[in-house]
């Protein structure tokens, strides 16, 4: 698809709406237990990047779904993709009000990469279609519907800094989290989330104690630095490049590096956006085959 065709999907229209599906970054992810149904109990500090997928929604004669963007083709054969599931589930709640819609997804984020692309797309579909169809759902019904689509969908619906507990559905805003200058890097090897959880050796790890480290140091970077992603060791078994990405981000000046979600995307936090952009350019020069993106994350007070 050409860039002008691309633009036309998002051009201002009297009756269409657009939504951003921002990349989700797990600044910390602690696995604290496991439920009887196999799902893991997590403590997560989550923020959102200013890069992501884009979705457009237009009234149409019949339902349609089109894709563009660097990773659009990778989704083309996926009839069960989360955008369509979100549309269908929301329509069940709405009935006759839910007229046919042409949904366009510009897929800018790599697939199965630990930064919530699919979950953020599903959440953006719920937001966009509620606007297009001129309806809303009670908060509890909406939260239930989002969770049906995936454990990360409720937090992607919020799309602002938060702590999520349970399997991801117990959400608390973090209004004092600052924005961070960041580089995201992914070796373009998809990771299966269930497989990473299956390989996890210890399922009862210490909880996230941000309040304690924050009151001791008053410093978010130190608090984040002292936290972990418990999924990183099992993900490294599947994708050894994860260790290499961390080393490279550090060599280019990252203050903290860590994997997001179940991987393989890793982030580095930098002191300034200029430093992040320079590091991203250098990393891209060294590994042109990787996904590398400099980004500023949301602040809690946005």
What is the Cα–Cα distance from 298 to 287, expressed in whole angstroms? 27
What is the Cα–Cα distance from 302 to 297, expressed in whole angstroms? 10
In the complex with ligand C5P, which residue's Cβ is closer, 125 or 257?
125
Concerning whether 152 is annotated as a catalytic residue, the answer is yes
Residue 190 and residue 265 in contact, taking contact as beta carbons nearer than 8 Å: no
Q: Does 39 bind ligand C5P (CB under 6 A)?
A: yes
Indicate the annotated binding residues.
Answer: 110-120
* Cβ 148 to ligand C5P shortest distance, Å: 9
* Binding segment (CB under 6 A) for ligand C5P, from list 39-47, 100-108, 227-235, 293-301: 39-47
In the complex with ligand C5P, which residue's Cβ is closer, 27 or 151?
151
In the complex with ligand C5P, which residue's Cβ is closer, 37 or 92?
37
Please state the separation of Cα 50 from the chain's center in Å. Answer: 11
* Cβ 187 to ligand C5P shortest distance, Å: 21
Query: Of 145, 151, 191, 294, which one interacts with ligand C5P (CB under 6 A)?
Result: 151
* Residue of 60, 83, 45 whose CA lies nearest to 13: 60
Count of residues in the chain = 302
Residues 6+ apart with CB under 8 A from 225: 255, 256
Q: Does 168 bind ligand C5P (CB under 6 A)?
A: yes
Residues 6+ apart with CB under 8 A from 250: 257, 268
What is the Cα–Cα distance from 84 to 141, expressed in whole angstroms? 19
* Binding segment (CB under 6 A) for ligand C5P, from list 17-25, 35-43, 132-140, 271-279: 35-43
Query: Of 167, 182, 235, 279, which one interacts with ligand C5P (CB under 6 A)?
Result: 167
* Cβ 40 to ligand C5P shortest distance, Å: 4
Helix (H, G, I), strand (E, B) or coil at 33: strand
In the complex with ligand C5P, which residue's Cβ is closer, 5 or 237?
237
Query: Of 134, 194, 218, 285, which one interacts with ligand C5P (CB under 6 A)?
Result: 194
In the complex with ligand C5P, which residue's Cβ is closer, 123 or 275?
123
* Cβ 116 to ligand C5P shortest distance, Å: 9
Concerning whether 53 is annotated as a catalytic residue, the answer is no
* Residue of 67, 44, 35 whose CA lies nearest to 224: 44
* Binding segment (CB under 6 A) for ligand C5P, from list 38-46, 84-92, 127-135, 214-222: 38-46
> With the C-alpha atoms ordered 277, 49, 259, 119, is the resulting torsion angle positive or negative?
negative
For residue 26, count other CB atoms closer than 10 A to its CB: 27
72-85 in b/e burial notation, b at 16+ Cβ within 10 A? bebbeeeeebbbbb
Point out the residues that are catalytic.
24, 152
- Provide the binding-site residues for ligand C5P, judged by CB under 6 A: 39-40, 42, 150-152, 167-168, 193-194, 197
């Amino acid at each position: 698809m050409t860039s002008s065709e691309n633009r036309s999907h998002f051009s201002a229209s009297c009756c269409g709406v657009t939504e951003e599906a921002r990349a989700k970054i797990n600044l910390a992810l602690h696995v604290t237990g496991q439920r009887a149904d196999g799902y893991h109990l997590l403590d997560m500090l989550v923020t959102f990047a200013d890069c992501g997928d884009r979705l457009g929604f237009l009234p149409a004669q019949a339902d349609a779904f089109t894709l563009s963007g660097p990773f659009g083709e990778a989704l083309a054969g996926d009839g069960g993709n989360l955008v369509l599931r979100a549309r269908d589930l929301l329509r069940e709640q709405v009935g006759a009000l839910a007229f046919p819609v042409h949904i366009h997804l510009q897929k800018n984020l790599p697939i199965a990469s630990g930064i919530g692309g699919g979950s953020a797309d599903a959440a953006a579909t719920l937001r966009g279609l509620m606007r297009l169809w001129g309806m809303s759902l009670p908060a509890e019904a909406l939260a239930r519907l989002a969770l049906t689509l995936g454990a990360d969908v409720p937090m992607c619906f919020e799309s602002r800094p938060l702590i999520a507990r349970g399997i991801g559905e117990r959400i608390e805003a973090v209004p004092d989290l600052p924005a961070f200058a960041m580089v995201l890097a992914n070796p373009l090897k998809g990771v299966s989330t269930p497989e990473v959880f299956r390989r996890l050796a210890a399922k009862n790890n210490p909880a996230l104690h941000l309040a304690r480290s924050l009151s001791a140091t008053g410093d978010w970077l130190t608090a984040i630095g002292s936290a972990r992603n418990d999924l990183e060791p099992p993900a490294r078994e599947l994708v050894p490049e994860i260790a290499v990405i961390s080393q490279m981000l550090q060599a280019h000046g990252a203050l903290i590096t860590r994997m997001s979600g179940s991987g393989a995307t890793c982030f580095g936090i930098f002191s300034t956006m200029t430093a992040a952009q320079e590091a991203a350019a250098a990393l891209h020069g060294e590994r042109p085959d990787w996904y590398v993106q400099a980004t500023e994350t949301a602040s809690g007070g946005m």
